[in-house]
Structure 1
Amino acid sequence: MQVQNTIPGAQPTRGARRDEAGAATAARGAATSASGDSTPAAAPAAAEREAAPLRAARQREQGLSNRTVAGAQRTLNYLDELQQRLKVLQERLSRRGADGASKAATDGAQDDLQDALAAAAEAWQARRDETSGFLDDALRFDADGRSRVRFRMRGLSSAALDGGRAETLSFQTRSARRTLSVVLPEGGDAESAVRQLDRTLAPAGVRASMDAGGEPVFSVAEEQWATLQTSLSVSGGGIRYPAGQSQPVRLQRQKEALDPAQWGVADSEQARRTLREVSQALERVQRVAESLRRLLASEASATAQDGDWASQFAGDLNLALNSASYETYVAIAPALGGISRSRVVELLSLG
């Protein structure tokens, strides 16, 4: 007796989301299903092939985790609040410009303007806590909730790293328990040097990369920034850094997306400059908020597709089992034999 290589009556079902996000896994399953092996020994493999859609559902890139979705929603709520405060400040600055130097107008509005400025600054200062670390100071959303500070390290420019003499740099920081050393070879290029620096400084939580302009840029988790600023030191061979005793490294933090500390309303000219900066900041915040809305909408749509897929697959499987032949049970038994309640619960949680 030959056993068919599929479960009779049950068609492999994969939703569009799995075809998009899990293309590699799904393609492997589809290629195996098309092999046409019809020997008895192929029955376990056939059952495994029928389970490919379920396996793909687990192994595929799942889009956003529950934690990331929650972080995105919390970040969106924060951005909406920040937008409101910036709009109030923008309106009062516009009114100040329209009123000009009228004493009656400015005296009555100055306190309100100062209050709006303080409220916007307070909202920005609360960014990290209000978003649980999902939004960094450049308005970048971090899916892991580990917002990072990006900075330059004085002495490590592209010009200094590209084609220079050989030198060993030894870094020390409070977060690393040992000296972190990197050997920069003679004549090496800046890109290779940055990769070496990235590997060397990783134990201290510092990552290195090249920015769009081809310059080295470093980053560290936001909560580590204050400690790194005061504890990072380096010694070299007298080329890029002095030899001998380690010296503190000067770190230059990249400019934040909003800088309320520089906003002022003391006079009309200062208020006009602040109005331009607030308007630009408001546009950036609105763009980020809109991108998060699209992200959450896409995830909600994909989740609905997952539910439809699961329902269709369960219906097909139920139909096949209700009209099952001996060949069907032979094909499906190996796949079902090791399933426990915990695995079923885990599977159901994917939706």
Structure 2
Amino acid sequence: VWGELKRLEQQLSQNRAASGDLVSRLKLLEEKLTQPKAPLTTELKPRLLASATDSRVSYSAERLDLLSPKSSAERLVFSFPQTSSAVEVLLPAGASEVEAASRLDRALRKEHIQARLNELGKLELSVPDQHRRKLDEPVLLSGEGIRIPAGNPVPVQFKPKAGQLTQLGEGLDKGELRQEQQRLKRLLGEIEQSVRELKQFRQKMVKQLDRVKARSQNLQQEELEQLQGKLSTQLKEGGFMGTMSGLLAQANVSRQSVVALLT
């Protein structure tokens, strides 16, 4: 990603427009590297360094007006077929867009969903990667009010927000050069910071590996079982994806040594 963006930066500095081919390459690159089991999150952060709560997927709600003030109070119910659960939101008469977004956020957090106003003042929902099916699948919306009249639930499909590289390509395609140059500069800085963090992470692992080689030789069976239990818990919490396989591939140590190292 960094290499592709550096080439794009050079191209834009020479006042050359981004070609349609480059825009397509950015989108394909993003799709390849940010799939659920791919190495990067949708924000182009390494999954290895991101905890389960840091890795979130964002969705736009532009097709559904949930923010504009209304003359009467409303009751909205979001039902999630995937988990057979539901939350209720009460919107007072005349509620501002900020207050409506805040009330939606408080209610939906019970389902691990955050609601906020994005930089354009539009409603945006986000959910941890492991719960993304809640918004990938249609949500049933019912209630009483102007937006959603009483009656049968209405299925609503939220649209996944375009990733950083796709947004960059789309902006350049529209001729928004100055805005996308700023995005490009920010992305390059974030990627370079991620590379530094990954190098620090690897150095830390190598140092711990040297220490664990000695102590792992004297592990008792009971102690090993305790370490394995702690490791299992940590892996479920996220942030260690790929670490064990990576260490086993890079170092001539036993699986027991790696288990001890990661705890």
Give your verdict on TM over 0.5.
Answer: yes
Query: Higher RCO, 1 or 2 (CA under 8 Å, sep at least 6)?
Result: 1
Taking structure 1 as reference, are residues 117 and 91 closer, same or farther at Cα in structure 2, changes over 3 Å only? farther
Which aligned pairs between 1:28-107 and structure 2 lie closer than 5 A?
82-95=1-14, 97=16
2:77–2:141 contact (8 Å) kept in structure 1: yes
Amino acid at match of 1:195: R
Equivalent residue for 2:60?
A: 151
Partner of 1:128: 34
Judge conservation of contact 1:147–1:221 (CA < 8 Å) in 2. Answer: yes
Q: Please name the residue that 2:106 is paired with.
A: 195
Q: Within the alignment, does 1:165 sit opposite 2:73 as a pair? A: yes
- 1:210–1:216 Cα contact (<8 Å) kept: yes
SS class of match (2:113): strand
Show structure 1 runs of 5+ residues with no match.
Answer: 1-81, 98-109, 265-269, 319-335
Aligned CA distance change for structure 1 residues 96 and 337 (closer, same or farther; 3 Å): closer
TM-fit CA distance, 1:207:
0.7
Cα distance between partner residues in 1 of 2:191 and 2:21:
25
1:139-193 CA distance string (max 9 Å, x none) = 4555247541243473433867xxx7363x3334442446x24253869965455
Identity of aligned residues (%): 20
CA RMSD of aligned residues (A): 4.8
SS in 2 for 1:349: helix
**What's the TM-score once normalised by structure 2's chain length?**
0.57
- Does residue 88 of structure 2 align to residue 182 of structure 1? yes
Q: Distance in 2 between matches of 1:183 and 1:238?
A: 12
- For residues 171 and 235 of structure 1, the distance between their equivalents in structure 2, rounded to whole angstroms, comes to 7
Indicate conservation of the 8 Å contact 1:86/1:282, yes or no: yes
How far the C-alpha of 1:84 sits from its partner, in A, is 1.9
Structure 2 counterpart of 1:83, which letter? W
Q: Whose helix fraction is larger, Structure 1's or Structure 2's?
A: 1
Structure 1 SS opposite 2:187: helix
2:262 is aligned to: 350
1:245 aligns with 2:152: yes
Residues 303 and 124 (structure 1), Cα distance of their counterparts in 2 relative to 1, 3 Å cut = closer
SS at match of 2:26: helix
Post-superposition offset of 1:342: 3.7
TM-score if structure 1 supplies the norm length?
A: 0.45
Unaligned stretches of 5+ in structure 2?
A: 228-255
CA contact (8 A) 1:89 1:117 kept: no
Report the Cα distance in structure 2 between the residues aligned to 1:183 and 1:130, rounded to whole angstroms. Answer: 30
